[in-house]
Amino acid sequence: MRKTICLALALPAMLAAQSAPDSVRYTVLFSDRPQGHLTLRGTSAEWWADFEFNDRGRGPHVVEHVIAATDGSPRQLTVVGHNYLKDTVDERFSTDGHTMRWTNSVEGDAIGPAKTGFYIDVDGAPTPELAQALIAAPSHRMPLLPSGEASIEKVRTLTLHANGRSRTVTEWNVSGLGFSPSPLWLDADGRLFGFVSSWSSTIRSGWESAVPAMIAAQDSTETVRMARVSQRLAHHSAVLVFQHAAMFDATTATLRPHTTVVIRGDKIERVADDAQVTPPAGATIIDATGKTLLPGLWDMHVHIAPGSDGLLHIAAGVTTGRDMGNDTSVVLRLRKQFDDGSAIGPRLVLAGMIDSPGPYQVPIGLLASNEAEVRADVDRYAALGFEQIKVYSSMKPELVPAIIDEAHKHGLRVSGHVPAFMTAAQVVTLGFNEVQHVNFMMLNFMDTVRDTRAMSRFTAVAQDGASLDFQSQRVRDFFQLLKDHHADIDPTVGTFEDMFIGRPRTISASFGMIADRLPAQVRRGLYGGGLPVPAGMDQRYRDSYAAMIRMVGELYRAGVPIVAGTDGFAGFLLHRELELYVQAGIPAPAVLQIATIGAARIIKHDGERGSIDEGKQADVILVDGDPTTNISDIRKVELTVRGGVLYRSAELYRELGISP
């Protein structure tokens, strides 16, 4: 408590210390809607940043102060405030040339000999200092502290126009912070002009209208880069033959040993016992002895992003992803690129997001305030070939019936969050085909939580979920309601694992198995923790998460269909989701069935894919192990075939800086 009070006093004190005349203000946009600010003040030798935004009740407010060394790297750094999930931030770094010390939510308190490099803050503001230091550094490269290395490349200059003004800015790409280059824009004086994307942007105030042109430029850069990657890493063969495989029959959820599968073009031509098949002349033959051949996996809850997401999915064996809400132009472009092979990524089934305006409105998607608008939004998505409508948390309850009616007229499924002041039982009764996220299943029985837009949709479940009586009549009646209405559940239970049981300075439970394989700065993010835990509530939060896992198992045993989706880290998180289903008591073969033919059946694509059958699309994966007996073997995907094109997981991972 004392630490929180001290930080609360420190933040306004730091703000007061800043020198106002040289300040530059930036607008934080979600899509094209202002949701916060960034203010930078000072010089290259000493500067302050004040950063804040609101993302559906979540979001940080931090103040950062840096005194820089001659090479532009921090010599002293302080960040105070709160992070995205409202936990306290008190991050500090200093070096005197002999010793460096730092404390943050990842490494804790650390001390060691001083090294040359740029300290990367964990909870700081988005600032341009690393880019500026890299531009000035020899070979445009610099070590990162505590580990890693970054480099920068100039991409292009662009002249922007807004409000009768013109300005020339430069796009730079910084590598070494994630799986793919991170773009930013500097003006002619080398000062930050903006970071932009279709999801969120931080842009010099007064230049908000220039964001679309900047995004288009970045997209063209990324399109060229990904086309080159696809040309190098996509392996084409007229005929592809897997021999001696233990093939997973998704329809029966059993293994079929000693099986040969022949793929010609983008279709499965033959599935038979090894002794019955002579490989065609010139075929590429893969010996699958001791390995399992499965249909490609389905991730039924993605928000696909340009760059690394497509590669991560394919490397992990995900050949179909259902995008549950995105920027329309982005997702349509990515779907086309994935399908024509100019970028590597899964097949995409699209859901269009609709919400009502308000303080918790969804950052992307379409907004509607009345019945005419919601029907028009549904019509627009239907015309673009979307197959599902996703309702978001701020949707006015009185408009939900109109959305369902209009969507069903077009043959579209309807799902989503449970809108504020409604329950899961109510939306299913009205006609939802599916409900997203297991926390809404838990909230259905928490009568004190009516507003499902705010942080309470997480914190209330964390505090009270452990007390849910799964044997109660109310719970059993709800399960029967789901069955009666043929509604399925997209629990995304993995995305809540770190939120509920992650603790600062402790490796992520979701990704601990792969942490050592990841780039240094990505790996640091696995130690950040989750929701702030009130004193004395640690075990309660853990017990509540265990209840969420149990909810998944109880739904399955009650006969309610489940789809496997992630709403998080592409590729790897689906493996964790499947492990958690087994932890919930679902047999591993049934879990694999859920993630293949089960998903295809629910969205009526099972005639095309979802199982390894003659005539179906050639989407298969080869796993070094047997995930029907050890579900974690699903992490050992060696090869993914998507539409007859073969990808080697090790090659894709190396492209992203991940150890195979």
Say whether pLDDT at 654 is over 90.
yes
pLDDT computed for residue 2 by the predictor: 36
Q: Which tokens go with 447? A: 């009568």
pLDDT computed for residue 651 by the predictor: 98
Return the amino acid letter for 212.
P
Say whether pLDDT at 339 is over 60.
yes
Residue with tokens 């010099």: 204
**173 in helix, strand or coil?**
strand
Any residues with CB less than 8 A from the CB of 653 and at least 6 apart, and which?
315, 517, 659, 660
pLDDT computed for residue 534 by the predictor: 94
Average pLDDT, the chain: 94
Closest CA to 468 of 508, 441, 495, 486: 441
DSSP state of 235: B
Size (the chain), residues: 660
Beta partners for residue 33, in sequence order = 30
DSSP state of 611: S
Q: What percent of the chain has pLDDT over 90?
A: 88
Q: What is the pLDDT of residues 353-391, one digit of tens each?
A: 999 999 889 888 899 999 999 999 999 999 999 999 999
Q: Quick check: 612 and 283 in contact, CB under 8 A? A: no
Say whether pLDDT at 11 is over 70.
no
Name the more confident of 456 and 25. 25
Peptide bond into 146 cis (omega under 30): yes
CB atoms closer than 10 angstroms to residue 322 = 27
Q: What is the pLDDT of residues 52-107, one digit of tens each?
A: 999 888 899 999 999 999 999 999 999 999 999 899 999 999 999 899 999 998 88
Residue with tokens 């609709």: 354
Q: Which tokens go with 641? A: 């075939």
Task: Return d(Cα 291, Cα 571) in angstroms, integer.
Answer: 20
pLDDT computed for residue 14 by the predictor: 52
Q: What is the mean pLDDT of residues 215-223?
A: 94
Closest CA to 319 of 599, 50, 627: 599
Pairing of strands 645-648, 318-323: unpaired
Beta partners for residue 144, in sequence order = 118
Classify residue 108 as left (phi > 0), alpha (psi -120 to 50) or beta. left
**561 in helix, strand or coil?**
coil
In this predicted structure, which of 30-34, 215-219, 275-279, 540-544 has the lowest mean pLDDT? 30-34
Task: Return d(Cα 296, Cα 317) in angstroms, integer.
Answer: 6
Q: Quick check: 309 and 590 in contact, CB under 8 A? A: no
For the chain, the domains span: 2-210, 421-562
pLDDT computed for residue 125 by the predictor: 94
pLDDT computed for residue 6 by the predictor: 47
Q: What is the pLDDT of residues 462-520, one digit of tens each?
A: 999 999 999 999 999 999 999 999 999 999 999 999 999 999 999 998 998 999 999 99
Sign, Cα dihedral of 279, 281, 283, 285: positive
Q: What is the mean pLDDT of residues 510-539?
A: 92
Task: Return d(Cα 121, Cα 107) in angstroms, integer.
Answer: 11
pLDDT computed for residue 477 by the predictor: 97
In this predicted structure, which of 410-419, 484-493, 523-532, 593-602 has the lowest mean pLDDT? 523-532
Task: Return d(Cα 333, Cα 335) in angstroms, integer.
Answer: 5
What does the buried/exposed string (b/e) look like for 578-610 if buried means 16 or more CB atoms within 10 Å of the residue's CB? bbbbbebebebbbbbbbbbbbbbbbbebbeebb
Closest CA to 229 of 297, 296, 180: 180
Say whether pLDDT at 1 is over 80.
no
In Å, how far are 15, 179, 338 from 656, measured between CA atoms?
39, 5, 18
DSSP state of 655: H
Return the amino acid letter for 306.
P
Closest CA to 66 of 98, 91, 103: 91
pLDDT band at 332 (very low <50, low <70, confident <90, very high): very high
What is the DSSP secondary-structure string of 105-171? TTTEEEEEE--SSEE--SS----SHHHHHHHHSGGGEEEEESS-EEEEEEEEEEEEEETTEEEEEEE
Q: What is the pLDDT of residues 438-448, one digit of tens each?
A: 999 999 999 98
Say whether pLDDT at 407 is over 50.
yes
Q: Kindly report the backbone phi and psi dihedral angles of residue 319, in degrees, each rounded to the nearest multiple of 5, phi listed first.
A: -100, -15
Return the amino acid letter for 386.
F
pLDDT computed for residue 614 by the predictor: 98
Q: Which tokens go with 60? A: 């940080």
Global confidence as pTM: 0.93
Name the more confident of 85 and 295. 295
Any residues with CB less than 8 A from the CB of 659 and at least 6 apart, and which?
516, 517, 653
Q: What is the mean pLDDT of residues 618-640?
A: 98
Closest CA to 89 of 35, 55, 125: 125
Q: Kindly report the backbone phi and psi dihedral angles of residue 169, in degrees, each rounded to the nearest multiple of 5, phi listed first.
A: -130, 160
Element at 377 (helix H, strand E): helix 371-383
Q: What is the pLDDT of residues 236-289, one digit of tens each?
A: 999 999 999 999 999 999 999 999 999 999 999 999 999 999 999 999 999 999
Q: What percent of the chain has pLDDT over 70?
A: 97
